[in-house]
Amino acid sequence: MRATQQLQYAIYGVFDLAYNGGRGPTRIQEVAERQGIPMRYLEQIFQKLRRAGLVTSKRGPGGGYLLARAPEEINLADVLLAVQGVLLTRSEGETGPVRENPEFVWELLREGLEVALKRWTIADLSREAARRGVDRAETEPAMYHI
């Protein structure tokens, strides 16, 4: 399985909210800058995450995105399903010996992948990042001048 760019960005975005945004709503521009993700693309991804119930948004001054659940309650399978809809797909239309493989092989792969992705939560990723010395953002709340 190859992780799509959209999945990678979704994981980075949710991780960033947990690791750097625990103090309140985080502006999507901040997440995009810290993670090196084009903001418009990240907005599309966050809409999928919001529809899946993984993040919430708050409008207006001081607004931004928050995790909808505790980081311990969001696992990598949740993020993958939010942006891709399925855990593992098999290429259709192939010919030759691959086509003759029993379907149970794909079922076993799906089950193994699901177990692995459900094992790792966003909280686990945050703890691992802290253990490895990943710097947390030192951003100040945005100032609005009239």
pLDDT of residue 110: 84
pLDDT of residue 86: 74
Gap between the Cα atoms of 71 and 85, Å rounded: 21
Domain map (residue ranges) of the chain: 5-131
Report pTM: 0.80
Instruction: Tell me the DSSP string of 41-84.
Output: HHHHHHHHHHHTTSEEEE-STT-EEEESS-GGG-BHHHHHHHHH
Question: Residues 22-46: pLDDT tens digits?
Answer: 778 999 999 999 999 999 999 999 9
Question: Residues 80-96: pLDDT tens digits?
Answer: 999 988 766 665 655 55
pLDDT (average), residues 88-114: 71
5: left (phi over 0), alpha (psi -120 to 50) or beta: alpha
Provide the CATH topology of domain 5-131: Arc Repressor Mutant, subunit A (1.10.10)
